[in-house]
């Protein structure tokens, strides 16, 4: 059986990657999202086990020591990590897995798993990015300033990714990612048994 595709999506805060990923998953039930673990406090409406697995720092650090994460990073003062078991089991059983993680995490995964597909979501403009972060209303003033300034820094990492997807409209961005997935699956190197199927 062919391994599933590991799809890694990142991009600056405010690029709209959360919305794009949600819509991608709605339209493609066969893609499995890896639910990350975090030590940050849940925001209003976030559900444990759905948006994130919320955990305290002691437990998180214990899991780091046990090697339970595929990658982890400290982002805006909180830990975030990708639980290893879920991702590896899905990929090995031929299922596609989506990781929506920050740039540090994506680069760590790229070293570990170069066969993954690395997608960077771009905002339509920097002005729009600032508006989105500001209007989200979930951030404190301090976190707002931090997120806007790191969004600028993060753009330079675009060139480490395989694909840059402009999020001018969510539907367009989703269609672009779906096309990337189709093209990646057609790569000969990913279809070792293709001749046996015809």
Residues in the site for ligand 5GP, rule: CB under 6 A? Answer: 10, 36, 40, 71, 73, 75, 80-82, 100-102, 104-105
* Cβ 97 to ligand 5GP shortest distance, Å: 12
Q: Which of 11, 72, 63 lies closest to 36 in space, CA to CA?
A: 72
DSSP code string of the chain = -PPPPEEEEE--TTS-HHHHHHHHHHH-TTEEEPPPEE-SPPPTT--BTTTBEE--HHHHHHHHHTT-EEEEEEETTEEEEEEHHHHHHHHHTT-EEEEE--HHHHHHHHHH-TTSEEEEEE-S-HHHHHHHHHHH--S-HHHHHHHHHHHHHHGGGGGGSSEEEE-SSHHHHHHHHHHHHHHHHH-GGG-TTHHHH-
* Cβ 188 to ligand 5GP shortest distance, Å: 31
* Cβ 36 to ligand 5GP shortest distance, Å: 3
* Cβ 71 to ligand 5GP shortest distance, Å: 6
Q: Which is nearer to ligand 5GP, 82 or 167 (CB)?
A: 82
Q: Which is nearer to ligand 5GP, 28 or 51 (CB)?
A: 51
Q: Which is nearer to ligand 5GP, 5 or 98 (CB)?
A: 98
Q: Which is nearer to ligand 5GP, 18 or 124 (CB)?
A: 18
Residue nearest ligand 5GP, CB atom distance: 105
* Cβ 118 to ligand 5GP shortest distance, Å: 13
Q: Which is nearer to ligand 5GP, 32 or 82 (CB)?
A: 82
């Amino acid at each position: 059986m062919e391994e599933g595709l590991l799809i890694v999506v990142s991009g600056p805060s405010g690029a709209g990657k959360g919305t794009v990923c949600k819509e991608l998953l709605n339209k493609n039930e066969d893609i499995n999202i890896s639910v990350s673990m975090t030590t940050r406090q849940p925001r209003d409406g976030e559900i444990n086990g759905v948006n994130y697995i919320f955990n305290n720092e002691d437990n998180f650090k214990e899991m780091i020591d046990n090697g339970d994460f595929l990658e982890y990073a400290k982002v805006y003062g909180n830990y975030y990590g990708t639980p290893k078991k879920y991702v590896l089991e899905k990929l090995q059983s031929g299922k596609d897995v989506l990781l929506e993680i920050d740039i540090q995490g994506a680069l760590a995964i790229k070293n570990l798993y170069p066969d993954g597909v690395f997608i960077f979501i771009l905002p339509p403009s920097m002005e729009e990015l600032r508006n989105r972060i500001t209007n989200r209303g979930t951030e404190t003033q301090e976190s707002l300033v931090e997120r806007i300034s790191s969004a600028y820094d993060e753009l330079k990492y675009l060139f480490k990714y395989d694909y840059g997807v402009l999020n001018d409209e969510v539907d367009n961005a989703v269609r672009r990612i779906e096309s990337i997935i189709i093209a990646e699956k057609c790569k000969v190197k990913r279809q070792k048994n293709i001749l046996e199927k015809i």
